[in-house]
Structures are given as C-alpha cells and as structure tokens.
C-alpha cells in the first residue's frame, strides 16, 4: 500500500470533529446522492474508534474527498488491526456496510452468494456468466466508485432475476441439463 495515496475523510457533529486519511473507499451514487459503503482508514486508535462511532451514530455529517456523502442506512461493521503490533497505538480500520446488496467479492462465487441473499430465484451456478452479463447490461450490478474501490452493488429483485432466467431459458442461451 502506498501511504501517500489517500483521500481526506471528514466527520463532524456538534460534539466532535474527525479528519482522517482514507486509503480506500467504496461509494455508490443514486438519485438521492452518494453513499459511502466502505472505508479503509489508518491512524491513532482513539481517532479510528471515534470515526467508526460517528459512522453508526445519528447527527454526523460526512465529507469524503471534499464532497458530502451520506451514511448507509444498514449501518456498518468494522475490522481493526494494529499497524505495527506492540510498538504503537496506531491501527488500520476497515469499515464495511452491512447492506446485503454489497458484493465485496467481485467474482462468480461472490455474485452467486449475493444473489442467494437478495433474491428467491432458483438458478444453476453454471448460468452465472449469462446472469452477470444481463445484470450489468440492465444496470442492476454496478461497480463501486471511489478511491481504490473494491466491490459491486447488486440492485436486483426476485422478479427481475426471474425475468432474466426465464428469458435465458426461453432463448436457449441457458438450459437445464
């Protein structure tokens, strides 16, 4: 990781103000604005804890790279790790959205697991190439934007996936063997 390659993440409320270096962030833009779904920050332990606390409490304003972003309505989980064990109180902190539509693994296995979480549509794992292409073409699977962003956002419903699978079977592109 290049420690000079970062963006500013600023969180403010009436009671607190935090400014940290953000080495990776995944964002999704919708009609309601931009939502931050993940952030990788590093710094003194208390500062990182304060940032995460602000992510899960109401009343905080978040700015990423100088632009206002909103919080995920599904809240967040975190993974903390000391940067240099036993020598400093610095840590890296990965903050991830709990939204089950977030795919943190951008391969076929990740998409299969994500589809099974958000839909009830039965499908064979061997159809995933066709399904991925249709989801992408219909803008139902979109890559996150941001700095060093990883992952995708799955906005498909069971009805939409039913239609994709039915069309694939009808056209003969996918089949039940």
pLDDT in tens, 119-161: 999 999 999 999 999 999 999 999 999 999 999 999 999 999 9
One domain, residues 63 and 136: no
Final residue before a domain boundary, out of 97, 117, 151: 97
Domain of 52, in residue numbers: 7-97
What pLDDT is stored for residue 102 in this prediction?
Answer: 97
β-pair type (152-154, 141-143): antiparallel
CA atoms of 112 and 108, how far apart (whole Å): 6
Indicate if 93 and 111 belong to the same structural domain: no
What does the pLDDT average to over 24-45? 93
Q: Whose CA is closest to 151, among 64, 49, 40, 65?
A: 40
What is the model's pTM? 0.86
Cα–Cα dist 10/21, whole Å: 9
Residues 13 and 86 in one domain: yes
Higher pLDDT, 59 or 4: 59
Which tokens sit at 54?
A: 């602000």
Residues 6+ apart with CB under 8 A from 24: 38, 39, 40, 146, 147, 148, 149, 150
- pLDDT at 41 > cutoff 80: yes
* Whether 89 and 150 share a structural domain: no
Any domain includes 2 = no
Q: How far apart are CA 70 and CA 6, in angstroms?
A: 20
The answer to whether residue 110 sits within a structural domain is yes
Domains: count for the chain: 2
Between strands 61-64 and 33-44, the pairing is: unpaired
Lowest mean pLDDT across 34-38, 81-85, 165-169: 81-85
Q: Does 113 reside within a domain? A: yes
Statement to judge: residues 80 and 117 lie in one domain: no
- Domain endpoint, select from 47, 62, 97: 97
Query: Is 118 found in the same domain as 42?
Result: no
In terms of phi and psi (left: phi > 0; alpha: psi -120 to 50; beta: otherwise), the region of 10 is beta
pLDDT above 90 as % of the chain:
81
In this predicted structure, which of 1-15, 69-83, 134-148 has the lowest mean pLDDT?
Answer: 1-15
70 and 124 in a common domain: no
Domain membership of residue 176 (yes or no) is no
Q: Are residues 90 and 50 in the same domain?
A: yes
Give, for 39, the enclosing helix (H) or strand (E): strand 33-44
Contact 94, 70 (CB under 8 A): no
């Amino acid at each position: 990781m290049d420690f000079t390659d970062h963006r500013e993440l600023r969180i403010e409320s009436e009671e607190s103000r935090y400014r940290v270096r953000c080495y990776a962030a995944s964002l999704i833009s919708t009609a309601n604005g931009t939502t931050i779904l993940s952030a990788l920050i590093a710094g003194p332990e208390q500062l990182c804890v304060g940032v995460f606390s602000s992510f899960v409490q109401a009343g905080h304003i978040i700015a990423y790279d100088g632009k206002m972003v909103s919080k995920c309505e599904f809240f967040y989980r975190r993974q903390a790790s000391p940067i240099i064990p036993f020598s400093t109180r610095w840590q890296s902190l990965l903050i991830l959205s709990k939204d089950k539509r977030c795919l943190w693994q951008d391969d076929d296995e990740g998409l299969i697991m994500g589809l099974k979480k958000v839909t009830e549509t039965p499908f064979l794992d061997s159809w995933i190439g066709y399904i991925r292409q249709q989801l992408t073409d219909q803008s139902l699977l979109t890559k996150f934007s941001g700095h060093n962003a990883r992952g995708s956002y799955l906005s498909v419903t069971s009805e939409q996936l039913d239609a994709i699978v039915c069309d694939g079977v009808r056209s003969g592109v996918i089949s039940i063997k």
